[in-house]
Structure 1
Amino acid sequence: MSDEISPSSSNSKPARGGVLGKLRGYFIAGILITAPISITIYLGWAFVTYVDSKVTPLFPAKYNPENYLPFGVPGLGVVVLVIGLILIGAFTAGFMGRFFQRSWEGIMDNVPVLRGVYKALKQILETILAQQSNAFREAVLVEYPRRGMWVIAFITGKTQGEVQSLTEKEVINLFVPTTPNPTSGFLIFVPREDMVSLSMSVEDALKMVISGGIVTPPDDRPQDERPKNVVRSTENTSTEE
């Protein structure tokens, strides 16, 4: 009788393990679905609430629709901010706007500390927002911090000025982001031939950096192109030669 009971008792454990495994899988799947949605909605709502709290109090009482409605109007401050920026852009495109901009820049040129900050921010924004700019529009692989180790970097522009004149080869400005915060990182100057262009989009490369490699985009290159683009260390190449 003991022999008949033991098989039934041993089979009950995998059954319980299978149920628990399925529940664990469903739980993880629920997190993967709800977490990105919840975080995105939360960040968007936090941004809208912050802008509304700063812009809405600037309305005169008689022009504020919230004084006439029994409920608040979320996003009203964002709409007003966007319209205001469009009007400012249209104003600066005219004669008076250009005159005001030249006068403001003339004032800033005489302020010792703020002029450097103002010019740097203006140049960065003009470079990023310009339609013809190639900044952060291509992801590449580069060997760093030593030969045989690779990092994902983003092209920010072609090196010019004193840095380029002091180097023998043509070098490119690369921004190497850090994990998990891609807004922090460092700038390196790399010869063009030492970079390996990636076919993945900038968005996919950022996902890989932010996740620390957990999220890895698939290789969407055609099958016949993959064997040709095998990345090898330049140090090993020179040794073999």
Structure 2
Amino acid sequence: MSDAPNHSSLSFWQRLRQDFKNDLIAGLLVVIPLATTIWLTAVVSRWVVNLLTGIPKQVNPFNDLDPLLTNLINLGVGLTVPLTAILVIGLMARNIVGRFLLDFGERTLQAIPLAGSVYKTLKQLLETVLKDNGNRFRRVVLVEYPRKGLWSVGFVTGIVSDAIQAKRPDAALVSVFIPSTPNPTTGWYAVVCEEEVLTLDMSVEDAFKILISGGIVSPKGNSPAAPLNSLPEAVEKVLVEAASSSGKGEDESGR
């Protein structure tokens, strides 16, 4: 697996695009859990307020405007303000002072019994999807699952505990996460022998693209001339041997 390019070696536009992407993702990680929590609180509050009072038309500043103009204003504000807020909050989240303020607000929010649980759950889910998984997912592998002859894409997450390894002292065991599709945040945990997994020359990001799209999106490999849908030689060898063994079994049955 090739290492990520050095930030200083990128061109100005590449650095700008990378910084924009990082700010956007960092902002989403902060805004979406917070916005969802606020939305749930607002729904409950609005339900209570609607039972007690109504909003007079004289108070609504958009009441006398043309409906088309009102819709255009709502669309423009609805797209511009959230995107700007996400980028600003993402920029704050990547700086020391902004991170301190966000951490303080996060601790305050998590202190609220119900809202804190919702916020923490959503944040963990989003971090699983959006964050760089290079530290958690060490390499992309193929695992023969759910039955012999079928292969699933998985991620090696580390070595197993001593208690599990003690049951198979003759083989090195690894922890493998086999995600589901199109929602890779769920899946199966498997303990597999190291010699039974096939390592793919593929980045974690490309593997997620394949999983989320159900195989529709096939990113290019490290080499521009090597498409992703061409299996490694080790995989081809295994499949050929499996097909050969199956053919011999059918011939013997026919005899």
Q: Same fold (TM over 0.5)?
A: no
Structure with larger RCO (C-alpha < 8 A, sep 6+): 2
Superposition TM-score tier, normalisation by shorter sequence: 0.3 to 0.5
- TM superposition score normalised by structure 2: 0.42
- TM superposition score normalised by structure 1: 0.44
